[in-house]
Amino acid sequence: MINAERFLSDLHHLRSFGASGSGVVRPAYSEPDIAARIWLAERMSEAGLATRFDEVGNLFGLRDGQSLLMGSHTDSQPEGGWLDGAFGVIAALEVSRASAERGGPPVSVVSFQDEEGRFGVTTGSAVWSGGLELAEADALLDHSGVSFAEARARMEHLTSGPVDASRFTGFIEAHIEQGPVLDQAGETLGVVTDIVGIRDMRVTLTGQQNHAGTTPMHLRRDAVQGLARIAVGLEERLRNVVTPTSVWTIGHVSVSPNASSIVPGKVVFSMQWRDGDLERLARMEEVIRDVIGEVAEQLGLALEYGPLLGLDPVAMDTGLQLRLASAADQVAPGKWRHMPSGALHDATNVARRLPVAMLFVPSIGGISHDFAEDTAEADLIAGVETLARAVAQ
Amino acid sequence: MINAERFLSDLHHLRSFGASGSGVVRPAYSEPDIAARIWLAERMSEAGLATRFDEVGNLFGLRDGQSLLMGSHTDSQPEGGWLDGAFGVIAALEVSRASAERGGPPVSVVSFQDEEGRFGVTTGSAVWSGGLELAEADALLDHSGVSFAEARARMEHLTSGPVDASRFTGFIEAHIEQGPVLDQAGETLGVVTDIVGIRDMRVTLTGQQNHAGTTPMHLRRDAVQGLARIAVGLEERLRNVVTPTSVWTIGHVSVSPNASSIVPGKVVFSMQWRDGDLERLARMEEVIRDVIGEVAEQLGLALEYGPLLGLDPVAMDTGLQLRLASAADQVAPGKWRHMPSGALHDATNVARRLPVAMLFVPSIGGISHDFAEDTAEADLIAGVETLARAVAQ
């Protein structure tokens, strides 16, 4: 039903923007990210789609009238894999082309901006779906202090106006699993049942920087020591409130002045946690704030919390799920499953405006957010074929 | 015996190089550091001193024949105070001028390079005194990956040849205490008895970077978690082998890829410890390597140690100490003391070649390695006066 060669050739061309080894370095609003979006807009025009960039740089390729929206994102992590987001966008482009060629149902295509959270969390789709006010987004800073407003101004010359969600009947996002489940089970496809919720906030600990040779241990207010006690304390204290699928991560750490002969006066770090249950997310937050507060107290550190960003758990639309499930059963009989998504996706935001569903293909070794990220070509093609059949139904 | 106005005016002019608020940003081989050394060379020439830059950028101002060497360093911490090193260098310049004007004993002046350890530990004086081979020093990297060889090449055009230690009869370094002892006791001067030893090494922990949403906690190899367990483990395990004056510090931390949605795959951190007793330094090293090794084992992290840099504890020359003590007793009767130096200084290296001694003036609030670092003007002048009298004896 699809043109696999055309799909693969576009997917590999997209990989060339910000290419680094086998991976990509294409963070939101970087030069390669913007160049990739301009290239994608050209492919969309070739496919007869009307292209539109909205005010935050989300790129839409539109069919006239009512249509089904498909897509994902083309920005990457600071050190990202070549398929994260890219697969879903190029798969959507191919399905839109193939369906049009068959005179099938109209399919529009989207690449959302800053899904990887250089600023907030899935920022582009959050603004588009109304989950995040633009003014609020504009105030967000990346880890080097650049504001979202400054960053999106780099795409201002491309902006061609807003896109109303009411023109779409639903949204389907195809994505690599980014986890080990399908790969370990030797399966080809995963039909997503729901997406876990996420919470993310920046924490600043301020102590007293001083000479590392003349400041006795008992007089120190060492911010790195504070971070250490928090990380170890969370290991112990969160165990009691979480399930095996709950996760928490300190992924970003910035130390000042960051010199080996100075007691560190300040640490800024990211605190992120995820769970499928809304109440559990709240209980985890209580424990996290308790532990951080207690350590700050013990060490005499000043404590400051950034805004609590995040998204609630989201259930997929049963109707769209069913169409994906029956298509999956045709393409890979006995080699697909229903499963939750531990990763956050743009579909989480779009669910505020439209019925949404997601389809996963395996990640080799479960590796993602890493240059080594990859998926077998046959599985990529099976994914696109499944999307095409789900649309044709 | 000295010209206090001339001394203060030079000290404040030096402060203008790399000035930032009340402090200075003048790391070794930075533009402001090199500019400050060129300015200092001009002051030396005015004072009738023959100036010489050696191959690593140490700046000497030489009297003919045999002379007493005095000085310290003019490079600063990434965020440094205005007196750390600068006081000792300008004090030496003033004492050399004043002694010459009185027809007193000849005093040469030095500003050593990279005392603050952008690369190693007191790198410039370590190379000059033969404690560190130049080839070895050239291979050292700063935290951003620049090599010592690349950095010192920035001063190549200034190099005017080596300086033989045999022309000097001894070395006296004046310095701010950088600790709270004199300030809390309301005293003016400290005659140093010995300098504690230091050990410094870089540690690299490598785990597996992966998606922070889809990687279950029990499958993670999180390098930041490793750092946290090490820092907390050292708090507990070192207590048994140290004294109240022993210190250890994790002052530099670098996380990769350092993004909030990625389980951190790699952490590089600095591990530094100091003590007055050689055997205790070795016992501390055993405990440190044990704890780091055990944590790496627990979390499945690859472990890599950089070279172990450091300096052994050093006793000050009794003859020079006595001259400083009797001068101190004239300048500040009842307001001076004998004391150890918890901070490392160039004198530690110079002791390999010459008899050395040190004189401390108070640090207000014990604050150093911080923009807020300061000393009462009267105490600064008392320090220079004491040096002048010690020389005249």
Distance (Å, whole) CA A63 – CA B289: 64
Tokens at B359, concatenated: 């004189």
β-pairing, A197-206 vs A266-275, is antiparallel
Max CA separation in chain A (angstroms): 78
- The Cα A100–Cα A380 span in angstroms is 21
* Interface contact flag, B258 A252, Cβ < 8 Å: yes
A-B CB pairs within 8 A amount to 222
B211 among the known binding-site residues? no
Residue B259 pLDDT exceeds 80? yes
Please report the DSSP string for A185-247 in residue order: HT-SEEEEEEE-EEEEEEEEEE-B-EETTTS-GGG-B-HHHHHHHHHHHHHHHHTTT--TT-E
Is the pLDDT score of A334 beyond 80?
yes
Asked if pLDDT for residue A366 goes beyond 80, the answer is: yes
Shortest distance, CA A382 to any CA of chain B (angstroms): 22
Confidence label for A17 from pLDDT (cuts 50, 70 and 90): very high
**Minimal CA separation from B202 to chain A, in Å:** 9
Q: Has residue A249 got a pLDDT over 90? A: yes
What are the chain B neighbours of A265 within 8 Å (beta carbons)? 370
Question: Across all residues in chain B, what is the average pLDDT?
Answer: 95
* pLDDT higher than threshold 90 for residue A379: yes
**Verdict on whether the full-model pTM lies above 0.80:** no
What's the token pair of residue B35? Answer: 């500019």
Residue B368's pLDDT is what?
Answer: 86
The pLDDT of residue B105 is 97
Do residues B55 and B29 lie in contact, with contact meaning Cβ atoms separated by under 8 Å? no
Picking from A341, A346, A358, the residue whose alpha carbon sits closest to that of residue A181 is A341
Min Cα distance A352 → chain B (Å) is: 21
Q: List the single residue in B212, B344, B366 with the smallest CB-CB distance to A272.
A: B212
User: Does the pLDDT at position B215 exceed 80?
Assistant: yes
Predicted pLDDT at A343: 87
| Contact call for A251 and B244, based on CB within 8 A | no
Q: How confident is the model over B340-386, as pLDDT tens digits?
A: 898 889 999 999 999 999 999 999 998 888 899 999 999 999 999 99
Burial of A256 (0-12, 13-18, 19+ CB in 10 A): middle
Look at B22 and B311; give whichever has higher pLDDT. B22
Sort out which chain A residues have CB atoms less than 8 A from B246's CB and list them: 217
Binding residue per annotation — B116? Answer: yes
What CATH number matches the domain at B4-196+313-392, 3.40.50.300, 3.30.930.10, 3.90.1150.10, 3.40.630.10? 3.40.630.10
Q: Do B179 and A211 touch (CB under 8 A)?
A: yes
Are the beta carbons of A270 and B264 separated by less than 8 Å?
no
Residue A325: the pLDDT is 97
CB-based contact B264 A250, cutoff 8 Å: yes
DSSP A296-365: HHHHT-EEEE---EEE--EEPPHHHHHHHHHHHHHHSTTSEEEEEESS--HHHHHTTTS-EEEEEE--GG
User: Per the CB < 8 Å rule, is B251 touching A245?
Assistant: no
Best CA proximity match to B175, nearest among B356, B330, B40, B391: B356
What pLDDT does residue A60 have? 98
What mean pLDDT comes out for the span B306-317? Answer: 91
- Helix, strand, or coil here: A184? helix
Distance from CA of A338 to the nearest CA of B (A): 16
Residue range A270-301, pLDDT digits in tens: 999 999 889 999 999 999 999 999 999 999 99
Confidence of residue B80 (pLDDT cuts 50, 70, 90): very high
Which tens digits make up the pLDDT trace of A153-208? 999 999 999 999 999 999 999 999 998 889 989 999 999 998 999 999 999 999 99
CB contact under 8 A, B258 and A250: no
Which of B215, B252, B274 is opposite residue A213, by nearest beta carbon?
B274
Residue B130 one-letter amino acid: G
Asked if residue A128 lies in contact with residue A56, where contact means CB atoms within 8 angstroms, the answer is: yes
Give DSSP secondary structure letters for A36-63: HHHHHHHHHHHTTPEEEE-TT--EEEE-
Q: Which residues on B lie below 8 Å from A144 (Cβ)? A: none
Sign of dihedral through CA atoms B338, B342, B343, B349? positive
The CB density around residue B307, as the number of other CB atoms within 10 Å, is: 12
pLDDT at A224: 98
Q: Specify whether the CB–CB gap between A376 and A85 falls below 8 A.
A: no
Which residues in chain B have their CB less than 8 angstroms from residue A299's CB? Answer: none
B316 secondary structure, DSSP code: P
Choose the CATH number for B197-311 among 3.40.309.10, 3.40.47.10, 2.40.30.10, 3.30.70.360.
3.30.70.360
For residue A135, give Cα distances in angstroms to A48, A138, A283. Answer: 34, 5, 30
Q: For residue B353, which phi and psi values (nearest 5 degrees)?
A: -115, -25
Structure tokens at A297: 């107290």
Q: CB–CB of A213 and B261 under 8 A?
A: no
Q: Which of A79, A216, A259 sits opposite B77 (nearest CB)?
A: A259
ipTM of the complex: 0.71
Prior bond to B180 cis, omega within 30?
Answer: no
Q: Output the pLDDT for position B393.
A: 86
Query: Tell me, what's the pLDDT at B139?
Result: 96
Whether A213 and B231 lie within 8 Å, measured CB to CB: no
**Average pLDDT along chain A:** 95
Q: Spell out where chain B has E strands.
A: 19-20, 23-24, 50-53, 59-62, 67-73, 107-112, 168-176, 189-195, 197-206, 210-211, 247-249, 253-256, 262-263, 266-275, 302-305, 309-311, 314-315, 336-341, 356-361
User: What are the chain B neighbours of A264 within 8 Å (beta carbons)?
Assistant: 250-251, 253
The mean pLDDT value for B131-156 works out to 95
Chain A residues near residue B215 by CB distance under 8 angstroms: 179, 247, 366
Give domain limits for chain A.
Answer: 4-196+313-392, 197-311
Shortest alpha-carbon distance between residue B150 and chain A (Å): 20
The SS3 assignment for A159 reads: coil
Report how far residue B317's alpha carbon sits from residue B68's, in angstroms, rounded to the nearest whole number. 14
B343–A214 C-beta distance less than 8 A: yes
Residues A94-143 pLDDT 10s: 999 999 999 999 999 999 999 999 998 899 999 999 999 999 999 999 98
Alpha-carbon distance of B66 to B153, in angstroms, equals 31
Sequence-separated contacts (24+) of A291-294 with Cβ below 8 Å: A291/A230, A291/A233, A291/A234, A291/A237, A292/A203, A292/A230, A294/A233
On chain A, the residues whose CB falls within 8 A of the CB of B231 are: 224-225, 228-229
Q: How confident is the model at residue B145 (pLDDT cuts 50, 70, 90)?
A: very high
Q: A255 — contact with chain B (CB < 8 Å)? A: yes
CA–CA distance, A296 with A222 (Å, rounded to integer): 10
Q: Which of these, B163, B191, B180, B146, lies nearest to B56 by C-alpha position?
A: B163
The pLDDT assigned to B245 comes to: 77
Nearest CA in chain A to B225: A231
A270 to chain B: nearest residue by CA? Answer: B260
